[in-house]
Amino acid sequence: ARLRAGETIFVSGGTGGVGSTVVQMARTLGARVITTAGSDEKAANCRQLGAAQVNVDADRREFEEGAAPRRLTADRATVQPAR
């Protein structure tokens, strides 16, 4: 990816193995990270990893289909479908 400082990235599941790594890498690059978590405890963990915004128990479908990421990033999100 060509993520740059100042850009915003959405990471689905910021406390999973891959998600937590992406959150940390994005913050290291200077990006703003938005993510989801399944509980308040997991949300706190995401924030410790560097997430600027964590949506707890979010409607996964809204995020996976891209509506929420686009809304949260003022319609600048590029959503890649899960594989």
Give the model confidence (pLDDT) of 15-25 as tens digits: 999 999 999 99
Ramachandran region of residue 81, left (φ > 0), alpha (ψ -120 to 50) or beta? beta
Backbone angles phi, psi at 13, to 5 degrees: 75, 65
More confident residue, 65 or 28: 28
Give the model confidence (pLDDT) of 32-67 as tens digits: 998 888 889 999 999 999 999 998 876 656 665 666
- Identify the band that residue 83 occupies on the pLDDT scale cut at 50, 70 and 90: very low
